[in-house]
Amino acid sequence: MTTRTAAQQREQARIAYDAYLATCPTRQLLDRIGDKWVGLVLTALADGPQRYSGLSRTIAGVSEKMLTQTLRTLERDGLVSRSVTLSVPVRVDYALTPLGRSLLPVMQAIKDWAETHIDEVTAARAAYDERESGERQEHLP
């Protein structure tokens, strides 16, 4: 057995982890719903189909680039459907697919935990920051 440095072993492990990342279902889902705009798009479509321009207005602040990119990814994953009506000007509607709709309860569970426990988290942060600033005082000359 050849000797390897700690760095080489970590590097080896990192490669294995990258492969794991690419296949782990949970990781893939987390990458999707953790995305900056995905949650808002899913929520906006939960009430029914919307046109591109409608989404752009509903989700104020999103750039055309990011809205398009987000919709493309969701469409590719089968969570959102895109239907084009050939007219002048063209009309494009986006809607949740059944698969996309099945994700809503999960999003709701996340939302519920967040709204139920956010106060505890905020309090914990405040306490932590308080402790930290206190300890910095002690270490002064």
Partner DNA sequence: CTGTATCCCGTTCGATACTG
Partner DNA sequence: CAGTATCGAACGGGATACAG
Q: Which of 134, 54, 59, 60 is nearest to 94 (CA)?
A: 54
Residues 44 to 73: which contact DNA by CB under 7 A? Answer: 51-54, 56, 62-66, 68, 71-72
Q: What is the closest distance, in whole angstroms, from the C-beta atom of residue 132 to DNA in the complex?
A: 10
Polymer length in residues for the chain? 141
What is residue 49's DSSP assignment?
Answer: -
Number of residues counted as binding a second copy (CB under 8 A): 48
Ranges of H-type helices in 25-103 = 25-33, 38-46, 52-58, 64-76, 98-102
Q: What are phi and psi of 56, to 5 degrees?
A: -60, -35
Among 60, 84, 86, 90, binds a second copy (CB under 8 A): 60
Q: Using CB under 8 A as the criterion, what x/- string covers residues 8-47 for binding a second copy? A: --x--xxxxxx------xxxxxxx-xxx---x--------
Q: Which residues of the shown chain bind a second copy in the complex (CB under 8 A)?
A: 10, 13-18, 25-31, 33-35, 39, 60-63, 75-79, 99, 102-103, 105-106, 109-111, 113-115, 117-118, 120-121, 123-125, 127-129
